[in-house]
Amino acid sequence: MSQDQPISNNNPKAFIPQPYRVSDGFGGLDLGPRDMMRDKENPNMLVPPPTDNGLLPNLKMSFSDTHMQLNKGGWSREITVRDLPIATTLAGVNMSLRPGGVRELHWHQQAEWAFMIWGCARITAVDWHGRNFIADVGQGDLWYFPAGLPHSIQALEGGCEFLLVFDDGSFSDLNTLSISDWFAHTPKDVLAANFGIPVESFNGIPQEQVYIYQDQVPGSIESEKIQSPFGTIPLSFKHSLMAQEPIVSPGGTVRIADSSNFPIARTIAAALVEIKPGAMRELHWHPNNDEWQYYLSGQARMTVFGGNGVARTFDYRAGDVGYVPFAMGHYVQNTGKDTVWFLEMFKAPRFEDISLNQWMALTPHQLVQSNLNASPELMKSLRKVKWPVVNY
């Protein structure tokens, strides 16, 4: 952590963070122009731990530093490879809808995974068999739409905010396939022939993509249901993540949602992790793909180990996105006074995690001891290892 230094001996209460590490005397004062708020938010970037070494690309991006798309019914902002170049596997969109606000009828070339941050919304979809789906989603609920399936999102009373994650880092929500955009760029005589009605029936259609628009809060879900002659979609697009029994560890909890318990979610797996003050998400890595993170609350730091002596530490807080390249070792430590909640997501059908503690505990102990010249205390700690995930 960074060490605060006084601005002046005449004013001992005025402190600013300085790029100086007390433990070894490395660094010095920065008296030039600087963004003080940034330095206070990123103490482990201003003063890296002595164990940081070599070069890793940037693994952090804040939604607060992105372009905000404002519409009458709400807003959106996104983080893609244009903002975080290392994040090639997944892209994220943070969106909010006012009561009745609609993310218009649309579809994507990518699968859409979502987490409801607050509020409630109604989602609809139709699959390739003509089977339809309608459901209300609330705080902590997930939804997933496979690539190519048309769908919509409309806020209910009180509005809502949610996170959308897409299985392609190059994705942009401002460049999707929308019903209004298609109508606007199809000759009206073609539309008339398609629907079997007069050309003038299309005089009032939008002239461009509407994206998000304001409408009335819809009625009850029963009043809006339409019976499909082909039945309903067999695998639910909705999953109640907070209704799951969490995996409880000494320092927090984890809830995992992947194709094993949310069968439709075949390309994105996720975990919602809670880390209590003073606790950490243990040293581990993932053997199936890169990790895309979204921080919901609290403050945390993460060191990512890239091999060959390379490691880099980043600080995160609510609204930040973190990224860990495939199979790189890392941890997430709560550095604040409040509980850290964050999502970790993978472009994969299943959540896979390898614990450093568990690996060592399940390897012949003499081999571990000789490899690390491990102390008796370290070897003793391995005997109680199960699958802690989050610990003190």
Binding-site members for Mn(2+) are 106, 108, 112, 151, 284, 286, 291, 330
Tell me which of 222, 344, 352, 377 is the catalytic residue: 344
Whether 161 sits among the annotated catalytic residues: the reply is no
Q: How far apart are CA 166 and CA 268, in angstroms?
A: 8
Within a 10 A sphere around the Cβ of 226, how many other Cβ atoms? 8
Under 8 Å between Cβ of 98 and 171: no
3-state secondary structure the chain: CCEEEEEECCEEEEEEEECEECCCCEECCCCCCCCHHHHHHCHHHHCCCCCCECCCCCCEEEHHHCCCEEECCEEEEEECCCCCCCCCCCEEEEEEECCCCEEEEEECCCCEEEEEEEEEEEEEEECCCCCEEEEEECCCEEEEECCCCCEEEEEEEEEEEEEEEECCCCCCHHHCEEHHHHHHCCCHHHHHHHHCCCHHHHCCCCCCCCCEECCCCCCCHHHHCCCCCCCECCCCCEEEHHHCCCEEECCEEEEEECCCCCCCCCCCEEEEEEECCCCEEEEEECCCCCEEEEEEECEEEEEEEEECCEEEEEEEECCEEEEECCCCEEEEEECCCCCEEEEEEECCCCCCCEEHHHHHHCCCHHHHHHHHCCCHHHHHHHHHCCCCCEEC
Widest pairwise Cα distance in the chain:
85
Closest C-alpha to 98, from 211, 217, 179, 209: 217
User: Which residues contribute to the annotated binding site?
Assistant: 106, 108, 112, 151, 284, 286, 291, 330
**Cβ(136)–Cβ(236) below 8 Å:** no
Matching residue, tokens 């769908």: 151
Beta bridge partners of 132: 126, 232
Q: Which residues are catalytic?
A: 344
